[in-house]
Amino acid sequence: MFEVSPHPIQMASQDSPTAALFASSPKRNLILCLLLVTCTLALYNAVNQNGFVNYDDDVYVTANRHVQSGLRWSTIRWAFTTFDAANWHPLTWISHALDYQLFKLNPAGHHYTNVLLHCACVVLLFLLLVDATGRPWPSLTAAAIFGVHPLNVESVAWVAERKNVLSMLFLLLALWAYQRYAKKPAIAGYAVVTFWFACGLMAKPQVITLPFLLLLWDYWPLRRLELGSAQADSDPGRTRTLGWLLLEKIPLLALSAASAVLTLAAQRAGGAVRSAIEYPLPVRIENAAGAYFDYVGRLLWPLRLAPMYPHPGDSLRAWQIAVAALFVLAVTALVIAFRQKRYLAVGWLWYLGALVPMIGLVQVGQQATADRYMYVPMIGLLLMLCWGLAGWAGNRKTRVGALACAAALALVACGGLTYRQVGFWHDSERLWTHAVAVTDDNFIAHVNLGETMLNQQRTEEAAVHFRAAVQIRPNDPAAHLNLGTCERRRKNYVPALQEDQAVLRLTSDKGLRAYALVNLGTDYRYLKDYARARESYEAALRLNPEAARAFVGLGLLAQKTAEFNDAVTNYSRAVELEPSDVAYLLLAQALQQRGQPAAAQAAFVAAQRVSPDLDRAQQAVRDLQAE
């Protein structure tokens, strides 16, 4: 799959079908684009059998009432003003709302949107590289590896990670527009670059490093930047000084700065930024060095991939840190030694620079690394690999043939691993069972697997995983939160109360605290401490005014004291926020008690309409009211 001469097509007989097919670049590129899309779709077609998973899919789709409003002005206004999910990414929210309008809660439609966006990224990457370098075969190989590599499964097969593929699409469009601008500089062309970059930032701020990447692109392949003695041999009409090119990027850097401010504000508002006490700066630097090494390893040997790799904290050994640091320094030294091969420097610096926002120097969440973080940085390593091997092969037919065979085998191997990896995202239980099997001490995997079992009423099995999570990480609030739910289901209300109080001590995350306060209110309600129950529900609503379960709790308290007007008000607010069958049944009951049988019947009909299992919902109502 590597070219053997600057014009390999001309070597074929003009009468051969191959020569006719590839005689023109547009025709060749169209055929290769169709080939890339066909292979990518074939590998990812299995997503139409996958469901939603309990890993942010609820936050982004299945339990998000704004998204489920569809594409309306109110949804768009919310998307541009919310910090939900500890992010500011309005275009991502809008894309999910559009999907809900088209597919409702049919997961196949949501999954296929991700796949189609990924296909668009693969095609754009190929066309971008061909246009910039004029070399179709290394460009095809790089785009093909990007399309079928298992590291990218997380970005494509996970509905909630729509933001990754969407922002990448806008980044590639910005690069494409920049290449047009570089050939014919004009304000209008620069405005197009700025527009696509702004769209990328509004999809996911991972593309914040685009101004830096454009500077690399100026060096190679655009050759707008010449350094040292090479500048004397350059085209004076095409090249610019480093200072001029930096000045050119100022408007884009201003967008990056604004995005950084918004992102930090959103992550702090959502409680996602970890403190320096939890993850001290030396620990973050050590993890960053290790991560650069690990990501390269996963690119070259993509086995035992998981949706979550827990942060090691200070448990990294000195030799591990030393090996990772030496690796980064050694590759950097080699790149400097072979600096005449510009693609090596550009590829390596692309990889290092594009990973900076996700490397953990500002620790967000509890992961050390994540496969999805390689979606953009991978391109840098592919540039080094594909152009480096093509340069080594040159015009030697033996080497070219060997590389073509090796590339084909690598693509087949990656395709098989990708197809297998897509299957792990079929459902939550399969996903987290695999994660527990391929990682060590993965407390997040245990918590999420336990939650899956808890939702299936497998309380005892769930409790085993929650205890395993607590044993691995005693200060993990999510494990304690779910252990409290297990105890509550067993009607052990005092232990449940203790677990929920532990959550409040262990986390500053507003979402978790609000959830724990609702549970705490339920514990107090079952223990007949109604005053504290009310205080807990109201405290939860101060943290999260849209906590539907808190309104249900207040409604139950009002019913208990025969304050049916208050009960109706609270239940009405609950069904407005989260139109569940249980909330509608409670509202119907309160309306009946208030002497409004017609309204009660309407609420009951609404419960029937939204309920997948009305008998189970009615039993849940009886359980809520039991003492």
Q: What is the pLDDT of residue 228?
A: 62
Kindly list the structural domains of the chain, giving each domain's residue range(s) and its CATH number in brackets, ordered by start.
25-424 (no CATH), 441-546 (1.25.40.10), 548-627 (1.25.40.10)
- Its sign, for the CA torsion 346, 350, 353, 359, is negative
**Burial class of residue 397 in the structure, from the number of CB atoms within 10 Å of its CB (0-12 exposed, 13-18 middle, 19+ buried):** exposed
Cis peptide before 6 (omega within 30 of 0): no
Identify the three-state secondary structure at position 240. strand
- Which pLDDT value is given to residue 233? 47
More confident residue, 276 or 131: 131
Residue 71: count of CB within 10 angstroms of its CB: 17
- Quick one: tokens of 465? 């995983």
Burial degree of 433 (CB within 10 A; 0-12, 13-18, 19+): middle
**Confidence (pLDDT) at 320:** 81
Pair of tokens at residue 584: 């509608």
Q: Which pLDDT belongs to residue 314?
A: 55
- Pick from 418, 479, 335: nearest CA to 152: 418
Indicate the pTM of the whole model. 0.90
| Rounded Cα gap, residues 279 and 269, in angstroms | 19
Distance, CA of 415 to CA of 45 (rounded, Å): 12
More confident residue, 276 or 578: 578
Residue bearing tokens 């060997």: 402
Q: What is the mean pLDDT of residues 53-78?
A: 95
Instruction: Tell me the torsion sign for CA atoms 534, 535, 540, 544.
Output: positive
Contact residues for 424 (Cβ-Cβ < 8 A; gap 6+): 430, 431, 434
Q: Give the pLDDT score at 269.
A: 79
Distance CA(42)–CA(34), nearest Å, equals 12
Which residues make Cβ contacts (< 8 Å) with residue 2, sequence separation at least 6?
137, 138, 141, 389, 390, 393, 400, 403, 404, 407
Q: So what's the pLDDT on residue 429?
A: 97
Among 133, 146, 283, 99, CA closest to 221: 133
d(CA 272, CA 38): 39
Please state, in angstroms and rounded to a whole number, the distance separating the CA atoms of residues 68 and 118.
24
Q: Return the percentage of the chain with pLDDT > 70, whole number.
A: 90
Q: What share of the chain is helix, strand, coil (3-state, %, to 5)?
A: 75, 0, 25
Token duo for residue 289: 């060095």
* pLDDT exceeds 90 at position 420: yes
DSSP class of residue 9? G
Each residue's pLDDT tens digit, 82-134: 999 889 999 999 999 999 999 999 999 999 999 999 999 999 999 999 999 99
**Alpha-carbon distance values, 110 to 8, 105, 591 (Å):** 42, 8, 38
- Three-state SS at 509: coil
CB under 8 Å to 528, separation ≥6 — which residues?
Answer: 627
Report d(CA 502, CA 485) in Å as an integer.
Answer: 13
Q: What is the 3-state secondary structure (H, E, C) of 534-577?
A: HHHHHHHHHHCCCCHHHHHHHHHHHHHCCCHHHHHHHHHHHHHH
Spatial contact of 175 and 383, defined as CB atoms under 8 Å apart: no
Nearest alpha carbon to residue 45 among 372, 425, 302, 419: 419
End-to-end CA distance of the chain: 71
What residue type is assigned to position 471 of the chain?
Q
Q: Which residues contact 20 (CB under 8 A, 6 or more apart)?
A: none
Residue 303: how many CB atoms within 10 A of its CB? Answer: 10
Q: Is the pLDDT of residue 157 over 80?
A: yes
Instruction: Check residue 223 and give left, alpha or beta (phi > 0: left; psi -120 to 50: alpha).
Output: left
What's the pLDDT at 326?
95
Alpha helices in 220-317 (DSSP H): 242-248, 250-269, 281-300
pLDDT computed for residue 342 by the predictor: 96
Q: Residue 625's pLDDT is what?
A: 83
Helix H or strand E encompassing 174? helix 162-183
Count the helices and strands in the chain (H runs, E runs): 30, 2
pLDDT, mean of residues 423-432: 97
Residue 559 makes CB contacts below 8 A (sequence gap 6+) with 567, 586, 589, 590, 593, 625
Backbone angles phi, psi at 396, to 5 degrees: -80, 115
Residue 18: pLDDT band (50, 70, 90) is: very low
Average confidence (pLDDT) over 45-66: 95
Q: What is the pLDDT of residue 394?
A: 87
